[in-house]
Structure 1
Amino acid sequence: MKIFEKTKTTNGSRIIKRYKICGVTVLKKDIDNKRRKIRLFGVPIFYNKKYKHDKRLKFVNDVKIKKYEFVPKIIEFEKCENPLVSIIIPVYNQIEYTKQCLYSILMSNEKALYEIIVADDNSSDRTKEILTFVKNIQVIRNESNLGYIKNCNNAAKYAKGKYLYFLNNDTVVQDKWLTNILSVFSNKKNAGVVGSKVLTGELCLQECGVYIFSDIFYAHYGQNANLEESNYVKECDYVSGCSLMTPKWLFDEVGGFDEIYSPAYCDDPDYCLSVKELGYATYVQPKSVIIHYGSVSYSGDSNELMRRNNEILKRKWKHIFDIKTNFKNYKVPYTDKKRPKIILVIDDFYPQYDKHAGGRTIYQFIKAFLKMNMNVKFCPLMAEDKEEPYYSELTQMGVEIVESTIIKKWIDNNPVEYIFLSRPQVAMQFMTKSLVNRGIKVFYYGHDLHHLRMSRESHVKGTNVQKEIDRMYRIEKTAINSCSMSFYPSIREKEYVEKNIGPRVKVVPPYIYDESQVFEHEKFEISSDLIFVGSSHGPNKDGLLWFLREIFPIVLKKIPDIKLNVVGSEIDAEVNSYKSNNVVIKGGLSDSELSSLYSKVRVSIAPLRYGAGIKGKVIDAVFHGLPVVTTSIGAEGIPPCDFISVSDNSVGFAELLIELYSSAEKWEYSRLSQKAFIAENYSMEKVVDVFLEEMDTSFIDNE
């Protein structure tokens, strides 16, 4: 072993340097375009968040920044007869910028179907000859110079796409910028306009949405392009016309850009406000990244024109400007005098909904809070890095990520009405009573009673860990009694908490299901085999090994060709050693793959000997139309039903399984009321109703 060792690793834009003595990391430097962090013996000792005007910036939202100093003489696009998007590029001279813009589109790895319309506003340079060196585009050439706004409106008449996308010619688009914009229209049914994260030529932010306050128009200008406050999909008052997409039917209904602002400026906020009047919203998509050099085609007195058009805009939309509040950075993106309440959700790591039940629960709770029209922030307290795809999924849903290194400062410097703490190891990091005394409602979600689970494990394994159990009991008791309200998954835990800890506790369903997302299950005679879902986490592994050693041999004597499918993201060597013709180790599966497997197997098993709380694997199997054989621990907290069979001994478990697996009548009967059971107990509406008992979601003063 080396006494001193220095290592350097890279991951995209990140550079991580470690300095080790005798194999132990004593100093770690973590550097990327967004931050610099230094840890000494694992303790953060330095953190710097912002860099501005960094020409060395290489990644924005994990998109590699590209500029094109060399543009080939001939640029050729594929022909597109049925475009989804019509890209309209208004131009007046500046052919070199136009060529660079077009080439960046060609090189952007874009899969969306598009046509390109170059709207030539009577240029006098080589733009007149553009079709000789750019192939398969459409050129609309005006006989006289119409000005930017009239030029755009005229070109839109020739568009064939479902969406119109206005793009300035002094821009350079980045990979998949168009697909990322389109994704917002798919995910946000009220989207009427979507724009991009726009960088200046110096690669700092020009805008990430624009926000109209009573005293200023704010656009994040000059900030580092990777700050979390500009990294999530959000509504804004308007987006710049340099990158603006809107449905063609909506553009036609509004009447296009208002030509009262001709030749240019203020047409984009006017259009977005017109769209809002029709009940649609404007969003900014930070994963759609472009560079914008800015107003290279306009040679007039832009300051005077902007002053004139600003006055027109404020007169026309006086009723909108009258409800705007004054600017403070923490108010973004909410610019009206009333705003939604803020809820800060804090968990240990990102919600890994496809790997463990706890992550899935928090992911679904976040969706519930969004459905309740709250402004949702999320902090993964113990995560050192972004965890994908969970980071991107949250930010694309409209959730701002608050980094753990600044979380306590963030709470001090931002208005927050609710804090939702997940798990005892998270709650113990905060002075909950102090937060409550400041007027913040603090909620605690325990997932299960950890000390009770530890006690049961100790009993099963014959270990003596009473000190650890007592310590966990104190942590959970403090969390429950110091918060405004605690939540647990079942009535069993509620009764236990009320009896042994304190009265502030309610039951909230830990799982949310949508019937439209489930696969249709095969008939009895077509289905076959068993399924076990769970990682090598303590109770899961113990239960699976118990089944393989003591129960499955009994089953195989009666049904020798039966197979057990073992599904889990972290299957260890000991479990893998049981792999055989009858034991199929599937490993981790995606949600769709798991649903497909559920639809084909006949019975699900959950042979748990210890644990606490409602078991996600049991409810999940029920949702997918499968009867379940489990133990009293596996069935704990679940309302009584016909489709869950329970036995705590090896022989009884095997007999129930054999009977259920072999009898079509028994199997069909057990499945009769599953859909009604799920709808009654595990729906989004049920979860929202519980939270609304404790959370007032009415808008409050934004002052």
Structure 2
Amino acid sequence: MGQQQLLIIGYTWPEPSTTAAGNRMLQLIRFFLEHDYKITFASTASHTEHSLDLNTLGVATQDILLNDSGFNVFVKNLDPKIVLFDRYLTEEQFGWRVAETVPNALRILDTEDLHSLRAVREQCFKSNVEFNSTLWLASDMTKREVASIYRCDLSLIISTFEMDLLTAVIKMDESLLLHLPFQLETIEKENALGRLPFNARKDFICMGNGKHAPNMDAVVWLKSEIWPLIRKALPKAELHIHGAYLPAHIKQMHKPETGFLVKGWAKEVQEVMGNSRVNLAPLRFGAGIKGKLIDAMLYGTPSVTTTIGAEGMNNDLPWNGQIANSAEEIAKSAIALYNNESEWLQAQQNGFGIIDTYYNKESLDKNLADTLDALHAHLEEHRTNNFIGAMVRHQSMASTKYLSKWIEEKNK
């Protein structure tokens, strides 16, 4: 019979060393490899210096084109049992081709985070308007993203907040969704990380990819309002800013005389995070769960973040640090954590507890495997019950499909 085929269609090539999304994709790839799938990863994107060499994992790669019927030939020959779309944008472009060419393939959407939620929150922040679900529902991006979720057999949702948003506000059937946060080994299994104690650490750290607007806003806020307050109380402390693709206006904030050091991409996250005493993530908008906060928990570094930063990550467990939403409260919390060893140690233990409780790879992998087995066994019934999905898919065939065909002809 041979191995089962999995096709992943990526919006970008995975970059685990620069983005949480890249780490998420690597975790999914490893899950399917462990379950004996033969994987092909396809993308329209260009490779970058940080793109993961998928061939070293035994994953085949394929460059594909938008609005090109050659994809239909490719996917028909591959005949995958599962097609995984990385973000709703790839499902919009290729979902109808997959449904038409390999209709029996299970279609899964990995949302990464709800892009519409992040976008609407950013708009609200810039307009100084308080976010609410009504504004989110009114967004065209929300309609597109939710339609994509309905068109798929299963969507992987990374945050409990986003699960609640889809089920309580949209009233979406939970059979279409699976809460799947980062799949991580328990702290006990990763005790070889060699975490440094309180007294061996110093300084603050802030990490974030420069292409991600919430991260850059956080750095700007740190520089203008938060860091001056911390530095006044801790005149010898430094704040190290790390991240790939940092824009020029962020690099220009590098001011060693004030302890504000813009250092750029960190090849070894464990080293820079594990040497820091406190992680700062003052995020004023965003969505999903934050890789930088997960890394801090893994490497035993307490974090000070906002309500949005911690959203959907720890449920009813105490945070691994402090949650505050004003510059003054963030600075006050950061200073307290930096100076108080007992508070710091408790925050570190809180982080370990969050990882082991909610990000346990073993239990999450089993839940995903069981869900996939059930879908394969009852796929026809599952699709029949998803009438909204069938309706939206029909409309997509009548619009996206023919627009794509028109573009393809126009390009000849």
1:488 to 157, 171, 176: 157
Which residue type is aligned with residue 488 of structure 1? I
Note if contact 2:137-2:143 (Cα within 8 Å) is conserved in structure 1: no
Q: Does 1:354 align with 2:17?
A: yes
2:84 to 411, 420, 428: 420
Deviation at 1:687, TM superposition (A): 3.5
Q: Specify the alignment match of 1:461 in structure 2.
A: 126
Q: Matched residues in 1 for 2:86 and 2:325: separation?
A: 31
Q: Matched residues in 2 for 1:346 and 1:449: separation?
A: 18
Distance 1:625 1:672, change over 3 A: same
Q: Specify the alignment match of 2:32 in structure 1.
A: 369
Note if contact 1:660-1:667 (Cα within 8 Å) is conserved in structure 2: yes
1:546 to 221, 234, 252: 221
Q: Specify the alignment match of 2:61 in structure 1.
A: 401
Which residue type is aligned with residue 532 of structure 1? C
Instruction: Please give the TM-score of this superposition, normalised by the length of structure 2.
Output: 0.80
Paired residue secondary structure (1:584): strand
Q: Does 1:341 align with 2:21?
A: no
Q: Specify the alignment match of 1:589 in structure 2.
A: 266
Q: Specify the alignment match of 1:159 in structure 2.
A: none
Paired residue secondary structure (1:430): helix
Question: 1:638-682: per-residue Cα shift (whole Å, max 9, x none)?
Answer: 113241310111111111111111111111121224334323322
Which residue type is aligned with residue 127 of structure 2? G
Question: 1:151-204: per-residue Cα shift (whole Å, max 9, x none)?
Answer: xxxxxxxxxxxxxxxxxxxxxxxxxxxxxxxxxxxxxxxxxxxxxxxxxxxxxx
Question: 1:250-280: per-residue Cα shift (whole Å, max 9, x none)?
Answer: xxxxxxxxxxxxxxxxxxxxxxxxxxxxxxx
Q: What does 1:318-337 align with in structure 2 at a 5 Å threshold?
A: none
Q: Specify the alignment match of 1:330 in structure 2.
A: none
Which residue type is aligned with residue 417 of structure 1? K
Q: Does 1:451 align with 2:116?
A: yes
Aligned length: 357
Q: Matched residues in 2 for 1:638 and 1:513: separation?
A: 16
Paired residue secondary structure (1:695): helix
Q: Matched residues in 2 for 1:436 and 1:622: separation?
A: 44
Q: What does 1:186-265 align with in structure 2 at a 5 Å threshold?
A: none
Q: Specify the alignment match of 1:257 in structure 2.
A: none
Q: Matched residues in 1 for 2:101 and 2:326: separation?
A: 47
Deviation at 1:544, TM superposition (A): 1.3
Q: What does 1:127-166 align with in structure 2 at a 5 Å threshold?
A: none
Distance 1:468 1:570, change over 3 A: farther
Distance 1:437 1:411, change over 3 A: closer
Q: Specify the alignment match of 2:326 in structure 1.
A: 649
Paired residue secondary structure (2:41): strand
Q: Does 1:510 align with 2:182?
A: yes
Deviation at 1:484, TM superposition (A): 0.4
Distance 1:579 1:529, change over 3 A: same
Deviation at 1:535, TM superposition (A): 2.2
Q: Specify the alignment match of 2:382 in structure 1.
A: none
1:524 to 178, 183, 198: 198
Structure number with the bigger relative contact order (C-alpha 8 A, sep ≥ 6) is 2
Q: Specify the alignment match of 1:691 in structure 2.
A: 368
Q: Specify the alignment match of 1:570 in structure 2.
A: 245
More helix by share: 2
Q: Matched residues in 2 for 1:574 and 1:558: separation?
A: 27
Note if contact 2:27-2:183 (Cα within 8 Å) is conserved in structure 1: yes
Note if contact 2:156-2:179 (Cα within 8 Å) is conserved in structure 1: yes
Which residue type is aligned with residue 110 of structure 2? Y
1:612 to 257, 262, 287: 287
Deviation at 1:563, TM superposition (A): 0.3
Distance 1:561 1:619, change over 3 A: same
Paired residue secondary structure (1:634): helix
Query: Which runs of 5 or more structure 1 residues have no equivalent in the other structure?
Result: 1-337
Q: Which is higher, the Rg of structure 1 or of structure 2?
A: 1
2:168 to 499, 523, 533: 499
Deviation at 1:359, TM superposition (A): 1.5
Deviation at 1:513, TM superposition (A): 4.5
Note if contact 1:436-1:442 (Cα within 8 Å) is conserved in structure 2: no
Deviation at 1:527, TM superposition (A): 1.1
Q: Matched residues in 2 for 1:389 and 1:574: separation?
A: 22
Q: Matched residues in 1 for 2:111 and 2:82: separation?
A: 17
Q: Specify the alignment match of 2:386 in structure 1.
A: none
Which residue type is aligned with residue 108 of structure 2? F
Q: Specify the alignment match of 1:106 in structure 2.
A: none
Q: Matched residues in 2 for 1:389 and 1:607: separation?
A: 26
Note if contact 2:17-2:50 (Cα within 8 Å) is conserved in structure 1: no
Which residue type is aligned with residue 181 of structure 2? P
Q: Matched residues in 2 for 1:436 and 1:658: separation?
A: 58
Q: Matched residues in 1 for 2:264 and 2:185: separation?
A: 23
Question: 1:195-246: per-residue Cα shift (whole Å, max 9, x none)?
Answer: xxxxxxxxxxxxxxxxxxxxxxxxxxxxxxxxxxxxxxxxxxxxxxxxxxxx
Deviation at 1:394, TM superposition (A): 1.2
Deviation at 1:612, TM superposition (A): 0.6
Note if contact 2:10-2:85 (Cα within 8 Å) is conserved in structure 1: yes
